[in-house]
Amino acid sequence: MNDSIEPVAPPPAEAATAVTPTVTTAVPPTAHDAARDAARDAPPGRRPRKLAAPLAAVALAAALLALGIVPRIDARAAQRAQVAVQQALPVSVIAPGVAPADQTLTLPGSVAPYADASIYARTSGYIAHWSADLGTHVKAGQTLAQISAPDLDAQLRQARADEASAQANYDYAKSTAQRWQDMLQTQSVSQQDTDTKVADMNAKRAMLASAQANVAHLAELVSYESVTAPFDGVITARNVDVGTLVTAGGTPGSPGLSGELFHLEQTDTLRVFVDVPQDSAAGVSTGTQVYLTTPQYPGRRFAARVARSAGAIDPVTRTLRVEIDVDNRDGALMPGAYAQAHLVVPSAAPALELPVSALLFRPNGVTVATVGANGRTVLKTVQIGRDFGTRVEIVAGLAANDRVIDNPGDAITAGEAVKIVATAREATPVGTSPVPATSSASSASSASSASSASSASSASSASSASSASSASSASSASSARITQPAQTTTAAQPASATAAHDTPPLRAAGTAPAAATPAPTPARG
């Protein structure tokens, strides 16, 4: 008899009940299993809504991860832009000015009398007396000096006596020839004898004409004993005195033994000769209004006009000789003085102007350096026109809205990155310094530093929030990624400090302050 008791197996329902709690306690169902069971048990119409919840969670995690990466990318771009700006060439730009429509051309000139004459002796003799001294205003025909020439007077008297003798001989020969012609009518004399008397009459007539010419010549020489003024003017030189021996035949090129007796100049109207440069010669014509200034009359202007011009360019000096007439009846201006002629020359067409400090002289011509829209240099070949001294006219090759670099280095090339540290509305004349932009650059440097720090802080906060919202594996990967920008910033810091020592840094383009990028709120699990 077997007394052992066989264990009785529990009913199937109880066994299942006993096993189920054990399984539930040991292995909790995953979110995926729960979602699957819920989708299986749920009615067919509610399953898509249940599937949207896990997809939204995944999208939220991806968005939080992106919020951590994007600020770091922006920070890197800002750092690269800041380094590029700090390494760019600092320049000062100017805007081209508008050249004046009319140019007042100031040229040096020499004042000359309207007419001047060097008076020499035409008769040899001694100065008997003089009646015009230095500075004397004389009239045309007025006697300046008297020359004593006794031998010339004697020659004139002899010539007049010879003339009288020749006149008597001619009269006798004429009457004789007339009588012989009358006798020839009655055949009292021969034709040959008559012709001889007529020929003698003609010879005596020629001798009379010669004697008369000699008298006229000597009379003219005697008239030169009286030295007279050829025109109204002022005596500017007297080189003779009473008893001075003078000889005839002197000229400015060969003054002779006695030289110049007097120098006479007409000063009621003066002439000023100026040489106009070739580039401005086209604007100067007869009748152009001019005013003169002289050192002895500061602030006074003498009205004048262009009387005539040479009409040709001097091939040596490349200038146009112009004569200006000025009224000087008050005697204020003096011949031989220095004067400045101010001519108003119209411009051919509207043009721009730049200071000469902005010009580069290259083998291909005059060049200016401009800043393009991309912040890099653009070299432009220009054509210069009128010269205003410290400025020049630009007639071609430049636009009014170009940003021209002032005082560019000779080594500047096209395509260089530049940084504008000063901008002038109008072209700055040579010799003046542009307005310093130190305060503006310092403010920009402070803003750049604050912007960089704010961007780094925003990136760190966003990275931390992204790490907190992600799984543990993603968190560790994010931590590794966060370490890399920090190292990059540390490595770039010496270069930034070096650049900041040379030029004040500016805020990089695209870098926003901290307030513009708030840190996202960490997601709650």
For 35-93, the pLDDT digits (tens) are 556 555 555 545 555 567 777 777 777 776 767 777 777 777 777 766 666 677 888 99
Closest CA to 231 of 127, 113, 130: 113
Same domain, 297 and 355: no
Q: Which of 291, 316, 346 is the last residue of a domain?
A: 346
Between CA 105 and CA 362 the distance in angstroms is 28
Please answer whether residues 70 and 455 qualify as being in contact, where contact means their C-beta atoms are separated by less than 8 angstroms.
no
User: Could you read off the pLDDT of 108-124 as tens digits, one per residue?
Assistant: 999 999 999 999 998 88
**pLDDT computed for residue 50 by the predictor:** 59
Residue 45 is given by DSSP the state G
Q: For the whole model, what pTM was predicted?
A: 0.49
Helix axis angle, 47-87 to 31-41, nearest 10°: 140
- Residue 493 lies in domain: 62-88+438-461+473-516
Between CA 364 and CA 489 the distance in angstroms is 45
Same domain, 284 and 223: no
Between CA 344 and CA 346 the distance in angstroms is 7
Same domain, 296 and 332: yes
Between CA 515 and CA 453 the distance in angstroms is 12
Residue 369 included in any domain = yes
Residue count (the chain): 525
Please answer whether residues 314 and 320 qualify as being in contact, where contact means their C-beta atoms are separated by less than 8 angstroms.
yes
Same domain, 176 and 225: yes
Same domain, 287 and 222: no
DSSP H/E element including 16: helix 12-26
Same domain, 205 and 219: yes
CA 444 distance to own-chain centroid? 34
**pLDDT computed for residue 385 by the predictor:** 82
Same domain, 239 and 144: yes
Domain total in the chain: 4
Residue 29 included in any domain = no
CATH classification of the domain holding 408: 2.40.420.20
Residue 258 is given by DSSP the state T
Give the pLDDT band (50/70/90) at residue 302: very high
* Bridging pattern class, strands 297-313 and 125-130: unpaired
Q: Which of 295, 330, 346 is the last residue of a domain?
A: 346
Residue 429 is given by DSSP the state P
User: Could you read off the pLDDT of 224-281 as tens digits, one per residue?
Assistant: 999 999 999 999 999 989 998 988 876 666 655 568 899 999 999 999 999 999 888 8
Residue 111 included in any domain = no
Give the pLDDT band (50/70/90) at residue 30: low
Residue 1 included in any domain = no
306 pLDDT higher than 70: yes
Residue 259 included in any domain = no
- 3-state secondary structure at position 220: helix
Same domain, 339 and 388: no
Residue 45 included in any domain = no
Between CA 109 and CA 51 the distance in angstroms is 101
Sign of CA dihedral 486, 490, 495, 497: positive
CATH classification of the domain holding 333: 2.40.30.170
Same domain, 130 and 164: yes
Between CA 320 and CA 343 the distance in angstroms is 13
User: Could you read off the pLDDT of 170-225 as tens digits, one per residue?
Assistant: 999 999 999 888 888 888 888 888 899 999 999 999 999 999 999 999 999 999 99
More confident residue, 342 or 496: 342
- The number of helices, as runs of H, and strands, as runs of E, in the chain is 7, 22
Same domain, 378 and 407: yes
Rg (CA), the chain: 57
Q: Which of 213, 246, 279 is the last residue of a domain?
A: 246
Same domain, 329 and 410: no
Q: Can you tell me the mean pLDDT for 125-134? A: 92
Same domain, 140 and 220: yes
Residue 57 included in any domain = no
Residue 226 included in any domain = yes
